[in-house]
Structure formats: C-alpha cells, structure tokens
Structure 1
C-alpha cells in the first residue's frame, strides 16, 4: 500500500472531530495486521515442509534411524492436529490477539530450542512445542483477519492473500531448507523462524486490534486430553510397529489404548455442553465426506513427501539443496492450479473437481511404481508434478464445499475441523509410510507399497465425494 502522497497533503485544521491518526492513512494498521497474520500462517506452513530436506542431516548429526526421523516430523503435526480446535475456542474466550501473540512466542521459542537441540529426544520435544504454537496461530489469525476486515468483499481478498502467502511458504520450504542446509547447516532451518517470529509479534502488538471476548465459551479439557492421547498412541503404534514389529507387546498395547481413548473422546464430545468437536456437524453428509477426503489426501501426500525425502537423500545420495530442487515440480504445481481450481469447479461442480484432482494425483502415484535406486530424475519429475497438481486442484473446492455444507455461524469450527483432520492425515501418512519404508533392506518395497496405498486412498476419496454428492441429501448441501 502506497502512502507516499500523504507527506504532501495539507493538514486540516484541528477541530473537535479531527483525528490525525485516522486522516493519515487509516488502512495502514489493517494492512499491517494482514501482514502479521500472513507471517503467522506462512511460518506454520513453512515448517510443514522445510524439515523434510533436513532429515538426512538431522539423522547423521543426532543419530537414530527412520523411527526417530518420523517422530521429528510427526511430533509437530500431532500437536498441530490435537490442539487446533481448543486454540480457536481459547481465542474466543480471552481474545484472539493475545492468544495469537502467545502462539507466535511459543512457536519462535520452540524454533530456537529445535536449533539448539543436542539429541533427538530434545528435538522431538521442541518440535511438539512448535506444533502447539502452530495450532494456536492458524485459527486465531483467521479470527483477527475477520475482525480487521468487517466488509465481506475486502475480507475475502484478505483471506486470499493470507492463503497465497502460506501456499508460497509451503512451496518454498524444501528449496529454502536445502539452500540453508548447504550453506549453514540443518539448525539454520529453525533459526530462520526467529526474525519472522519477532516481526510477526511486533506487528501484531502494534497494529492488530483485539477481538470481542466471550467468557461463556468453555474449554473442553477432558476432550482435549483424550484427543492428544488417542492420536499420540495411534501414531506411536504405527511408527514403532515398523521398528519393533507389529506383534510387539508395546505396539499392541498402543493400538488398544488409542482405540479406547478414541471411544472415550467420542463419548465425551457427545455429552459435553460445549464440545471441542461438535459431532452434530458430521450429520451433514458433505461435511463428513469432505472431512474424510481431507484426511485421506493428506495421508497420501505428506506420507509420500517423507518417503521421497529419504529416497532422494538416502538412496540416490542427493544433497539437501538438490532434494529441495527435486521437490520443486510437486510443490510448484500446487499454487498455479489453486488459482484455476475455482473456474474448473464453476464449470463441472465442486465434487467433480475434487474427484478429478484426486484421480490425477492417484495416476501420478501409479506412474511412479517403476522407480528404483538410481532412477533418473527426468523419469519421475512429471509424475511428481501431476501429484502436486491434483492436490492443488482439489483443495480449494474441498474447503469451499465443507464451509458451504454448514451454517455460516459454524464456519469457524468447520474450518478448524478440516485443518484438524488434514493434520491427522499427515501424522498417519508419515507414521505408516515411514514404517513401511523403514524396514531393514526393504526401502524400495516400502516405497512401492506407499505409492499403491496412496493411489487407493486417493481413488477412494474421489469416489466417496463423487458418489456422496450425487445423492439427494448430498446435493441439497452443495454450496
């Protein structure tokens, strides 16, 4: 936003209704609030992908095998998925600004702790704190944007900028991470969050205005505890199952615990006066279907990113920077296809667009089944781009369909559920595919199995949304 002309304006005479701070560019605080919110969401998305290029360097520096690397990635997404709904409720209760700033402070401090970690256990613990900070940042950044832009048209544009910045961060993560590791070392990928965090904190403190507090909004602590424990036990069972064996007593006990905790979570949410996850939302057919699609798609996409990070570095011996370049077609295809997805959805309908995107990504997975150690990158680059393009095509209509399937008053919690289910999918994808590929001497067999599973999940997701939307009940809920 340009304000240079303000320097040459004649200052009006002072009067009882004269407010110089408003006359001197009243939109500047709003624009800088948008900048702060974009930094918050952007740094969250950056850390979703930037760590993958550092897996080999982290493993070499701190020791440990594939299971430890799975925990480095999954600790972040477990906390992200488990806390995001409660974080939004907390912002409603005590004000989104102070909660958002607390999230930025936690994320930034945890990033420094990651950079200073002396062993894998400390790094995993710090990554979980990063995930907590991420869970706080995302819903409250949207709440502050909604507060800063009361006009619906302007708010729509602001959210578009907010989302585009996050997409750019997601895309640039592998490349930026590879460059930083090559020039400085793997610890630098966490230290890069320090200036971003400090800038975001200052802009939020200086320009964001606090939202209306709702003291009557309750925090569902029992539901929160059950959700964290259930997801953590499930991820632990899958990760450790690849190392200890699926019949190991610890693995069996973890699976059993996750099932019991999941049932307790559902029972709690059914009875809670203000549940963390309102189960009534799943009475909307399209809401349930789009949530399922978000889960399945992220299992495939982020699980494959983890596997291919190991493939490029462990199997083909690429440097971190070369690995970042290798991911560029996949990540780079997401943003431009995002921009045309809305037009495609207008022509053929949102469910058909989602199904088409899922089918494209599934085709890309099946086309990669011939991959072997030493396979030329030119033989797989197009397939990676197709996978990314399919994801870019389905996510915008997926989000709009989910939000349009519920009442507007519940759109905030609906968006939170979509984020939670997608992050849960990321946890399960990394855990499952990492366990398959982490078997001694069986990396390529695990990689091929991961591709087949991904294709099946994507095709199932596309079929579910296509079939569900074609029913009378599904059709009436279409946005």
Structure 2
C-alpha cells in the first residue's frame, strides 16, 4: 500500500469512528433492551425513552451542529462531538437507574449530533473528485455497516458475559482512537466566525421534536385522551407552524431551503426519513420480539438478528462497484421495493412461523439496506455539490434521525397497544413495509425521473449538433 493509499485509509477510518460508535449503539441497545428492562425495573415506555432519547437530541441538534461546523470548523466540532459521546457512554455504563440512563443517552445524542454532519463534510473535503468520492462513500459506508453487522453478536456476548453496562464501555477505545487519527490525518476545513446561527429556530425545533416524542411514546401508557398527550400534540403542531412562519421571514434559517429546490436533494431527504423509520424500527422490534416472544437469551437474540445486519458491508462494497454503471434512482426504487416486500411478508407472522422464514426476510432487508444507504447519500452529495457539504450532510442526517425517532416511537406504541407480542409484531411489520413503499414511490418521483430528464438534456444537444465542416487542408 502506497503512502497516499495509507493516508486515505486512515482518513476513512478516522471519519468513520463516530459512525461506528453510533452504529454499535443502534444494534447492541436492541439486544440489551430486555436485560435493561429487567435489571433497572423499566417499563416498555421507559425503555423506548432510553432508545429514543438518544435519537431525540441527535435529531434536534444536527442542524445547529452543521452551523457550528461552518462557524468554527468541521474538524473542531467533530472532535468535540467525539469527546462528549465518550463521556456520555461512560455515564451510561455507570447509570444506576433507568432515569439516569435516559439522561446519559440524551447527552450521547448531543455528542453524535456534533460529529455526524462534520464527519460527512470532512469526507467530502478530503476527497473532492466526484468519482473517487463515490467509491470512498461506498467503502466508508462498509466500515460503518460493519459496526452494525457486528453489533448484535458483540452486544449479545457482552451482555451475557459482562453485563449490559459493557455495551457502552466499548465506545471508549473506539472514540479515543478515532480522535487521535483525526488529529493526525484529517486537515482542518475553512471556518467563518461571522456565520450566523438561527438560535430561536433551533430552540423551536427542539421543542417540536420533544413534544412529538412525548406524544408518541407516552400515548399508549398514559392514554391518548389524557391531558398531557393531546397537549404535547398541540405543542407539536403549534411549534411547527411557528417554525415555518419564522423560516419564511428570517434572514438566518434552520434549513437551507434553497437546496430543496433540487428535486433529487428533496427526494434523498424524504427517502432518508422513511428508510430510517423502517430500518431502525425493525431493529427495535426484532430485538424485543426474539427475547420476549421466543424466549431467546441476549446472546441468542444477537445471533438471530445477524441476518439483518451481516450483509450490510457486502452490499456497501457492491454499491461501490456498481455505482458507475447504474444511476442512483433506479437502484433506490428496486431495493426499497424489495425491502418492502420482505417486511410485508412478515405481517403474517405467528407463533408457528419458523425462524428461517424470519431470518430470510431480515437478510433480504439487510441486503437492500446496504445498497439504499450509500445510494441515498451519493444522491444527496451530487445534488448539493461539495461546496454545500456541511449544510447538506446536516440536513440529510437530521431527516434520517427524525425518521428513526418516529419509527422507534411508532413501533413502541404499536407493541404497547397490542394484546400480545405476535399481534404487535405482525402489525409493526405491516407499518414498516408501508414505510418502505412510501420511500420507493418518493425515489421514483423525485430522484429517478429528474435523473432521466438530466440525462436526456445532456444527450439531446450532443446528437443534434451539425457535423463540423471538412478542413480544406
């Protein structure tokens, strides 16, 4: 390996470290959920808060973090986020009660919000050539997906042997190594101290997402007609209206709305919302289903989830190889539809359903997800341009995390309202399949069709030009 290739590998590893920690937390938390419920005497609602609390601050602060990256530099913000995440992981491991665990998870989400958009911005800055960047995105996604693939097995082993606290301690060496590699191999990006921050807008967004989370998570336990749940729903609606009104007239906005004029950018963000709602909804669902409905131990549940995650890195590498031959739009449509069919097939799940059928559906979903994620990211980067890397990365990650927030909350509500685990799981798979179908329709309308029009616009002038005159010489 040449020195340039070695430096490129170190850059990819450094900038993937944050995603690796987030990916590990996404999977190992699902395996540890049942154990945490038992050890900390937590209800399903409290467990949902422990999972979704992390996503809440993550989603709510992503756009603010993108603005900070532009103001003080992406590398600085990335390092801050990694440090906060490591400290919060230690606090999670030491949490004596479910309430303290939820608080630590909220802090973890704040750290992740800082390093996620900065990571993508630094990656775009480090690899400016579009063709090279597309390949790097596939490899980078493979590194990230490997953490998802290893998460269930690692989590099951650690929970079974070392206790649930150990799933958070694993973040400490990953975070510290990532920070050191970033310091050594990742160069600083430009920063402008005069970059304005829409503080009031971000504060309103936080209130809206917190109210939405409260309504969705607490609704099944408190009752949808209790005073607090409709009040939270009203705060969500009123806050959204106020935020949109502010965005229309403010000089400094929360969202870079001009980017949404490009259909492919809007489509990538909509697909990201639906995809994360479905994929992480499945992760939350099956981890609890295998342990509560089928009596699996944490280790066995971790192994049984593997079909969903094990194929992600292979699919990412496949995308890196086929991305030059196929447009992103058709790839997204095909694999979102495949994931939808696999999920809808599980809507008939029953106690008599053999594990191999569940594993097959999860494997198909995982294979599809490994193509969908980098294709969606590549679409966003191509549509926004490298000069908008900070803002575009923050927007896509924010939409995806809001999707995760909603997906987990909805699955939690479905399970809490269902009379038994089989009925709840079947209903949840139906909702997940519908989300994938919505993403496929969005990809066709906002990504594939604009790609086709752009291709035709490029080829028609070239074929309609008159032939050049013959030279007299």
Q: Same fold (TM over 0.5)?
A: yes
Moved more, 196-205 or 145-154: 145-154
For the pair 1:334 / 2:305, whether they are aligned, the reply is no
Q: C-alpha offsets along residues 227-272 of structure 1, whole Å, 9 cap, x if unaligned?
A: 1111111111011111122112111111110111112222222333
Alignment correspondent of 2:110:
132
SS of corresponding position for 2:348: coil
2:235 equivalent to 1:257: yes
Report the alpha carbon displacement of residue 26 of structure 1 after superposing the two structures with TM. Answer: 8.5
Q: 1:208 to 1:346 in 2, by over 3 A?
A: closer
Aligned to 1:430: 408
353-362 vs 262-271, which deviates more? 262-271
The residue aligned with 2:453 is 475
User: What's the counterpart of residue 102 of structure 1?
Assistant: 80
Confirm whether residue 350 of structure 1 aligns to residue 350 of structure 2: no
1:379 partner SS:
helix
How far apart are the structure 1 equivalents of 2:168 and 2:345?
35
| Stretch moving more, 159-168 or 60-69 | 159-168
More moved, 180-189 vs 86-95: 86-95
Instruction: Specify the SS of the correspondent of 1:415.
Output: helix
Shift of 1:374: 6.2
After superposition, give the CA deviation of every residue in 1:199-238 in whole Å (9 maximum; x if it has no partner): 2233334454433221121121111111111111111101
- Please give the residue correspondences for 1:14-413 in structure 2 after superposition, counting only pairs within 5 Å: 32-149=10-127, 158-341=136-319, 349-373=327-351, 375-413=353-391
SS class of match (1:356): helix
Unpaired runs of 5+ residues, structure 1, are: 3-24
Shift of 1:157: 5.4
Deviation at 1:197, TM superposition (A): 2.0
Distance across 1 between alignment mates of 2:219 and 2:359: 32
Alpha-carbon deviation of 1:424?
0.7
Distance in 1 (alpha carbons) for counterparts of 2:292 and 2:62: 34
How has the CA–CA distance of structure 1 residues 411 and 26 changed in structure 2, closer, same or farther, with 3 Å as cutoff?
closer
**CA shift for structure 1 position 64:** 1.8
Q: Which secondary structure state, in structure 2, belongs to the residue aligned with residue 274 of structure 1?
A: coil
| Alpha-carbon offset, residue 46 of structure 1 | 1.7
- Match of 1:11? none
Q: Aligned equivalents of 2:218 and 2:184: distance in 1? A: 46
Distance in 1, matches of 2:389 and 2:425, equals 38
The Cα shift of 1:370 comes to 2.9
Distance 1:157 1:467, change over 3 A: closer
Give distance in 2, aligned partners of 1:371 and 1:176. Answer: 27
Aligned partners of 1:86 and 1:219 also within 8 Å: yes
Aligned equivalents of 1:134 and 1:62: distance in 2? 25
Distance in 2 (CA, whole Å) between partners of 1:392 and 1:151 is 23
Shift of 1:147: 4.7
Q: SS state of the match for residue 433, structure 1?
A: helix
Q: After superposition, what is the alpha-carbon deviation per residue over 1:433-462, rounded to whole angstroms, capped at 9, x for unaligned?
A: 111112363332222111111112211221
Give the Å deviation of 1:388. 1.4
User: How far is the alpha carbon of 1:389 from its aligned partner?
Assistant: 1.8
CA distance in 1, matches of 2:207, 2:455: 34
User: Structure 2: 5+ residue runs without aligned partners?
Assistant: 459-473
Say what the alpha-carbon RMSD is for the aligned residues. 2.6
Give 3-state SS (helix, strand or coil) of 1:452's partner. Answer: helix
Counterpart residue number, 1:22: none
Return the TM-score normalized by structure 2: 0.89
Q: Deviations over 1:48-101 (max 9, x none)?
A: 222110001100011121111111110111111121222122122112232222
Note if contact 1:114-1:187 (Cα within 8 Å) is conserved in structure 2. Answer: yes
Q: From 422, 426, 441, give the equivalent of 1:448.
A: 426
- 8 Å CA contact 2:278, 2:435 repeated in 1: yes
Q: Distance in 2 between matches of 1:172 and 1:212?
A: 36
